Structure 1
Amino acid sequence: MAIRGILFDKDGTLIDFHRTWHAIGDRLALEAACGDRGKADDLMDLAGYDVAAGRFRADSIFAAGTNADIVALWYAAAPLAEREKRVKQFDRLTAEEGARSAVPLEGVSSALRSLHGQGYKLGVATNDSEDGARQTIEAIGIADLFVATYGYDSVARPKPAPDAIHAFCALTGLEPDEIAMVGDNRHDLEMARAGRAGLAVGVLSGTGTQERLAPLADVVLSSVRDLPAFLAGHGS
């Protein structure tokens, strides 16, 4: 079937992951480390930040996980009630600061507007919170282009489970094989495969690499900005 709907990951796909999230992650790590710089660096490394390279690692908890995953990692010894409180704190802070700090990737807005103008149904599927995703797309001026926004807390199971694809299909009336999933990490493409999406698109604008993405992707593009031309050539 022709592609009629597209789900996009957010961080590394629509916004610049490194420029948006390093300072926020470091702030949360310092708090978890009670201000100890060395311990905070260790926590950052544990969650997937390569200090030497100055980059987040592909498919790490930072790159692919949820706030709940980070809390479970950094506060493993804390009682359940404290961890739940921390998750709510992380969700609130990352939603506000993520939107305030969001740096859109070059060419993404115009590509999305082109796809929207061609009649594609567009959605966001992220492992950020739904509120965080909504605040970010509003902050960078693209919220009007999407019919749905799914965070890790919008569905029973976050990526790589296919729940967001199922929800998007139920909302739009489209079949899974009419959906393309676009993302910069393997969990995006694993969701595409699990949900039987018609097209799995990897992008190199985030933390993922050609070597990591290619085995699961139907195509790997440099960025979302290349998607309209690819779909035109694909016959969708």
Structure 2
Amino acid sequence: MADIKGILFDKDGTLVDFHATWFAIGDILALRAANGDREQANDLLDVAGFDFEAHRFRPDSIFAAGTNADIVALWYPHLANGPRQALIDEFDRFTTEEGAAKPVVLAGCIDALKSLHATGLRLGVATNDSTGGAERTLLALGVAQMFDAAYGYDAVANPKPAPDTVYAFCDLTGLKPTQLAMVGDNRHDLEMARAGGVGLAVGVLSGTGTRDSLSQLADVVLDSIADLPGYLAAQA
């Protein structure tokens, strides 16, 4: 544990309240896809992973863990490549503007980041949102200066759960994968950690994942990143 020199964080559900930030945005996109038909929009949200009874996104669902490209492929399966890419670009623009405009930060997140940064740890973001959305969210939260980089699904050849972002962050910082911790609320985050050979895989219960869905892949499951500085200090 003393060899951990850097941390990659998932964004939504880890730094930002996923449900509070993203349900309204997803609802607007679903209504657009359904041409304003409320019942059809609800069906699209359901197939993308929204549980209307629990009023939350299901763990590891497409909306919780996938990319905008995944959502477009799910909701617009018959689009040709050109129009599909144009729609993905539009989704990226919309989610970047709306998601970064009103991100709801999770309790204790800012203090935890300040504490971790003060110890000299190199910090990065690994998200299946767009890179632009990630960077603007960090700016909106007032924490961008603490991060070496933010990697969206469009910054690497293969997004989570592939290990590309781990390797990109290591290339940037000069760290080895074994010197990194990966922190996230979905199995995609932890699968990337395992595929990339990181030294510590941390699941957090502040997003869409559950203890059952995370514990099989995580070295430790915490309530949120607010608990991370204390955990790392105790293991040193």
How many percent identity over aligned positions?
A: 64
Partner of 1:27: 28
- When normalised by structure 2's length, the TM-score is 0.99
Runs of 5+ unmatched residues, structure 2:
none
Q: 1:51 Cα shift?
A: 1.1
Separation in 2 of the partners of 1:222 and 1:84?
Answer: 37
Q: 1:67 Cα shift?
A: 0.2
Tell me, what secondary structure is at the counterpart of 1:147?
strand
Partner of 1:195: 196
Separation in 1 of the partners of 2:82 and 2:88?
Answer: 10
Separation in 2 of the partners of 1:50 and 1:94?
Answer: 21
- When normalised by structure 1's length, the TM-score is 0.99
Separation in 1 of the partners of 2:36 and 2:53?
Answer: 21
Which amino acid in structure 2 is aligned with residue 196 of structure 1?
G
Q: RMSD over aligned Cα, in angstroms?
A: 0.6
Partner of 1:119: 120
Separation in 2 of the partners of 1:234 and 1:207?
Answer: 27
Structure 1 runs of 4+ off > 3 angstroms? none
Q: How does 1:199-210 map to 2 (within 5 A)?
A: 199-210=200-211
Tell me, what secondary structure is at the counterpart of 2:154?
coil
Tell me, what secondary structure is at the counterpart of 2:124?
strand
Deviation by residue 1:135-190 (Cα, 9 ceiling, x = unmatched): 11101111111001100000000000000000000100001000000000000000
Partner of 2:48: 47
Separation in 1 of the partners of 2:30 and 2:107?
Answer: 29
Runs of 5+ unmatched residues, structure 1:
none
Which amino acid in structure 2 is aligned with residue 65 of structure 1?
G
Tell me, what secondary structure is at the counterpart of 2:203?
strand
Partner of 1:5: 6
- Say yes or no: does 1:149 pair with 2:150: yes
Q: How does 1:57-206 map to 2 (within 5 A)?
A: 57-206=58-207
Which amino acid in structure 2 is aligned with residue 113 of structure 1?
K
Which amino acid in structure 2 is aligned with residue 102 of structure 1?
P
